[in-house]
Amino acid sequence: MAELSTIARPYAQGLLLALRDANKGPKEAAELAACIDGIAQVVSAPELASVIGDPKLTTDMLNELIVSALGENAPAEAINLVKVVVENGRLEVMPEIARQFRELKNLSEGVADAHIETAFEMSEADIDGLIVALGNRFPGVKLTPIVTVNPDLIGGVRVRVGDKTLDGSIQTRLAQMQEALTA
C-alpha cells in the first residue's frame, strides 16, 4: 500500500485549488482547515473505527454519518472531501490530509506553525519574545506558536518549524553529554 502522505497529497492540493477557484480568502481557508481537523478527529475516534468495518454500512450511510458530525455550517469543500474520500475508501488518510492541507495553506499565506515544546508553562510575553527571536531564524515567514508542555524536557525548549528542529532542551543536552562520555 502506498504511503499515507502520498495518498493524501492530491486531496490536500485539490482542497487548496477548490478554495482558489471559489475566490475564497484566508478566513475561509482557516475555517476549512479547522473543519478538516474536526473530520480527522471524528474519523480517528475509536467509536467510528468499529462502525467503518460494518458490512451493512453503505458508503452513503458512512458519508452521512461523518457529515452530520460536522454540523450545519460545514463548508461545501469539506462535505465534498468527505464524499470523495469515503467513495474511494481512503477514510484512514483524513488525518494526513488535514496536516498536509494546513501546511499548504500556511505556505500559500507565508505562515508557518512553530511547534514549541517547553518543560514549563510560558507566559504570553515569553512566547512573543521567542517568536520574535525565531523570526530572525525564519525570515519572511509569519510564525504561529503552538505551545505544548513536556516535563520530560527538564528545562529549555524544543521548536519545530516545518522540517527544521531547534532543540535547546536540557534533556537533549544531557543525552549529548552522556554520549560524549561513553564514546
- pLDDT for 45: 85
pTM for the model? 0.74
Rounded distance, CA 92 to CA 97, Å?
Answer: 10
183's grid cell: 564514546
Nearest CA to 63 among 97, 37, 94?
94
Nearest CA to 33 among 85, 94, 91, 105?
105
- pLDDT for 1: 47
- For 98-143, the pLDDT digits (tens) are 999 999 999 899 999 999 999 999 999 999 999 999 999 999 899 9
- pLDDT for 68: 86
- pLDDT for 83: 93
CA 114 to chain centre: 12
- pLDDT for 169: 92
Asked whether residue 21 carries a pLDDT value surpassing 80, the answer given is: yes
pLDDT-derived band of residue 2, with 50, 70 and 90 as boundaries?
A: low
68's grid cell: 452530520
Q: Would you say 171 and 153 are in contact if contact means Cβ atoms under 8 Å apart?
A: yes
Three-state DSSP state, 25:
coil
How many H helices and E strands in the chain? 8, 4
Domains of the chain in start order, with CATH, are 4-107 (1.10.520.20), 110-182 (3.40.30)
Asked whether residue 182 carries a pLDDT value surpassing 60, the answer given is: yes
- For 33-83, the pLDDT digits (tens) are 999 998 998 888 888 777 777 788 888 998 888 888 888 888 999 999 999
Q: Would you say 42 and 55 are in contact if contact means Cβ atoms under 8 Å apart?
A: no
**Burial group, residue 160, by CB count within 10 angstroms (0-12, 13-18, 19+):** middle
